[in-house]
Structure 1
């Protein structure tokens, strides 16, 4: 562990801030053995985000590697507002103290991750929804639509697109909207991936789009906040699944912790906007009725 990161932990604990929030380890279900026994997002975020200067500041996500331009032209279903409605602060500069701390943290994760950790992140890397894969005859359709039910999977084997077709339709619309907005933010910020700045990082994949905010974190937290609105009794499980999804991307060396946090912040704002939308609220009521009916059939509490 770096000396700077160790000192930051000491400062954080002396300030008494760790008592006010769950640690990363407590947030996790699948990655307790590798998640820090602190809230690593809060610790790293107190680093100085200002540029020190030098060659690092010229590095952005390479234009030739960007492979998701179609998402930037996609039509939305519910929300129609400027991208800057979502107030995501600029990412810390490439040459900043904070980015260096983030890269050091990712290098520590790389040292700690086991083959089993890496294999688990492989399974989570393919949990995402592509709004352009909508034909049931397509080979990737099943993976695609089932991804919408990952965060809520703890509810039981009945929580599937096959048993909840209304919920599936609404979630497809929601994530189509979210994808347009978080990819638009990615294109605006155009942040380089961690492995573009740190050659010692052994990233487990090379996504074809910029880093900030994290798409996996954004989408999984949208699911978590939306399902928590419907089923607050299960909120902790939903948020734990979203945490693990975001953290898996850090373990893979493809996202900085600040990418994960920006995705969570985007999701919180996005769901807030959704809940104001008249068309969405009508669909949400239909989704809610379907879920509560299924829960009653499975003799589960649907506290709301």
Structure 2
């Protein structure tokens, strides 16, 4: 009589294994593949006229931002693709899109793997680190400010998502721009950090879209998304 118990046990373990956590997602590329210090200019000096002018912009927003603007800036502090739900519609949710979700977890991980090493080299202080007058409404961060990681990942997500759903390209990219700008609204970044983040996100997205390994997972995620949205 054949014994199937070992095989059954293996299958049970596979079924019972927990899903890969977002924080454990592997990046598609790292700073070894894309060195932002070879692409972006260095940040302006702390005592430069540009930095002083930008501090003025942050402080102006601080006294003119509305409670609704603050609320959206706080919500947008989260780095995930589900912040695009307000333009994608009610069917756009993590529960019904597991492959799509896992794919974008890797996109988010890629941003950190490329941007964080560059931040560590440039070490531009955040606005609140240069002026006690700046009172961020989002969680404080003492990592380098140049370029903005949120602007980078927001741009990456916007480009990739709008390629999956070109019917909503204008709305998606407008949302990506708001997502990035909300780091200035929140008081945690300078406007030029955001511009550098947009450049970084565009460069990283272009590299990813040319890679066979990325394109294979992209097609699976795109298919699942469009099917779920009825497209």
Alignment of 1:80-119 (within 5 A): 81-84=32-35, 87-119=39-71
CA distance in 2, matches of 1:120, 1:196: 23
Aligned with residue 207 of structure 2, among 273, 278, 285: 273
Larger relative helix fraction: 2
Contact 2:29 2:113 in 1 (8 A): no
TM-fit CA distance, 1:124 = 2.3
TM-fit CA distance, 1:75 = 8.6
CA distance in 1, matches of 2:25, 2:117: 12
CA RMSD in angstroms comes to 2.0
Contact 1:83 1:185 in 2 (8 A): no
Q: Which runs of 5+ in 1 are unaligned?
A: 1-73, 129-146, 297-301
Superimposed CA distance per residue, residues 212-232 of structure 1 (whole angstroms, 9 cap, x where no aligned partner): 111221111111011122222
The residue that corresponds to 1:158 in the other structure is 91
Residue-pair matches, total: 205
- 1:165–1:276: structure 2 CA closer, same or farther, 3 Å change rule? same
The residue that corresponds to 1:180 in the other structure is 113
TM-fit CA distance, 1:152 = 4.8
Alignment of 1:70-219 (within 5 A): 76-79=26-29, 81-84=32-35, 87-125=39-77, 127-128=78-79, 147-204=80-137, 205-219=139-153
TM-fit CA distance, 1:118 = 2.3
TM-fit CA distance, 1:120 = 3.1
The residue that corresponds to 1:251 in the other structure is 185
Q: With a CA cutoff of 8 Å and minimum separation of 6, indicate the structure with the bigger relative contact order.
A: 2
TM-score by length of 2: 0.81
Contact 1:219 1:267 in 2 (8 A): yes
TM-fit CA distance, 1:76 = 4.5
- 1:114–1:84: structure 2 CA closer, same or farther, 3 Å change rule? same
Q: Which runs of 5+ in 2 are unaligned?
A: 1-23
Asked whether 1:290 is paired with 2:224, we answer yes
- 1:119–1:289: structure 2 CA closer, same or farther, 3 Å change rule? closer
Contact 2:162 2:169 in 1 (8 A): yes
Asked whether 1:233 is paired with 2:167, we answer yes
- 1:124–1:187: structure 2 CA closer, same or farther, 3 Å change rule? same
TM-fit CA distance, 1:78 = 2.1
TM-fit CA distance, 1:209 = 1.6
Superimposed CA distance per residue, residues 178-228 of structure 1 (whole angstroms, 9 cap, x where no aligned partner): 211111121111110112222322222421422111122111111101112
Superimposed CA distance per residue, residues 125-170 of structure 1 (whole angstroms, 9 cap, x where no aligned partner): 2x22xxxxxxxxxxxxxxxxxx322125422111112111111111
